[in-house]
Amino acid sequence: MSPTLSKKILAWYDNSKRDLPWRVSKKSPKKLYYRVLSEFMLQQTQVKTVIPYFKKFTKKYKSLESLAKINENQILKLWEGLGYYRRARNLLASVKLLVKKYDSKFPKNFEEVKKLPGVGDYTANALLGFIHNQPTLAVDGNVKRVFARYLNKKETKIDFKKLISFNRKSLFITNRNSDFVEALMEFGALICKPKDPKCSHCCLKTSCKYLKSSKKIKTKNEKKVKTINYDIFCYINKKRQIALTKKNEVSFLKNFYLPPIKKMRNNSNQNNWKFLKNYKNSISNLKLNINLYYKFSNKIPQSYYWHSINSNKEFMPSFTRKIFNQVSTLF
């Protein structure tokens, strides 16, 4: 692979990169904190969604050390609405480990980095590149697509580890390894997009085999959206309280207190329950079709507890908040 690929992408990046709040100078004392925080937030979440949460976190907690002092409830409350709440728990555990075990420094060894909670190959490579300027590539969907199109090969036919290892010297030709890691991801997100790539604006168009070929490969499709139908049953009382439980048929919100939720069944029994509303919700690649039922009652099963519908002090997933908003119209 020609060294000109790296030079051209870096030149494009210098002129076209987005102004993102976690992109600070290499010598900035905030670099480690900002990069660790942003990488956890960006897992399975779009940049535009992450930015306001990143700003909220860094305004409240100015450093890695200050974030390490908070508890799980505090970080979950601040994370509320961003989804994939395991990331928040892993972030807090990793930050505490970095402060306590590594004296607020970031390890330089790949296997050592992977011992941090919630850090896999991709995140480890990204952080080693961003923080230590190591010649590593975080191979996400954007990077795979750029290489696949450049070579005009299906992603499934490319061994990306071998490709990067074999071409390491030609890819990492400057001391700007961290910039190249980010430039390649940025290029895939803004130019070499999954649909309608901006080939006419591409800095690689003179050497891109995809553009030159009459038989263009198809890039990997995005995950198909799956629709799931749920019935939600809300016990409520005159005190504006709703009954919550952990016993539910919802895999994506395990270990959270919710009103009882069941997958819709044709023969399901809603006797004694009043229909409130049908509404839609989306979580990642899931589309949820929800029928909401309610019942005024002073008695609830043993595994349930009463929670104030108006309470905003405790952490609550946005999925649950939306249920509260619907039920509050009854009062």
Greatest alpha-carbon pair distance for the chain in Å reads 72
Kindly list the distances between the CA atom of residue 112 and the CA atoms of 90, 117, 128, in Å, as whole numbers in the listed order: 16, 11, 11
Are β-strands 286-296 and 226-237 bridged in parallel, bridged antiparallel, or unpaired?
parallel
Residue 283 is classified by DSSP as: E
> Which among 331, 132, 173, 137 has a CA at the least distance from the CA of 242?
331
Cβ-based neighbours of 321, under 8 Å, separated by 6 or more: 80, 81
Q: Which residues are 283's β-sheet partners?
A: 286
- The C-alpha atoms of residue 259 and residue 236 are separated, in whole angstroms, by 10
Euclidean distance between CA atoms 324 and 311, whole angstroms: 10
* Cβ atoms of residues 151 and 158 within 8 Å: yes
DSSP secondary structure, 189-215, as one string: HHTS-SSS--GGG-TTTTT-HHHH-SS
Question: Other CB atoms closer than 10 Å to residue 253's CB: what's the count?
Answer: 17
Q: Catalytic pick from 39, 80, 182, 186?
A: 39
The pair of structure tokens assigned to 285 is 């690649």
User: How many Cβ atoms are within 10 Å of 154's Cβ, its own excluded?
Assistant: 12
Phi-psi region of 261 (alpha: psi -120 to 50; beta: other; left: phi over 0): beta
**Catalytic status, residue 249:** no
Q: What does the alpha-carbon distance between residue 131 and residue 37 come to, in Å, rounded to a whole number?
A: 12
DSSP lists the bridge partners of residue 230 as 263, 290
Catalytic residues: 39
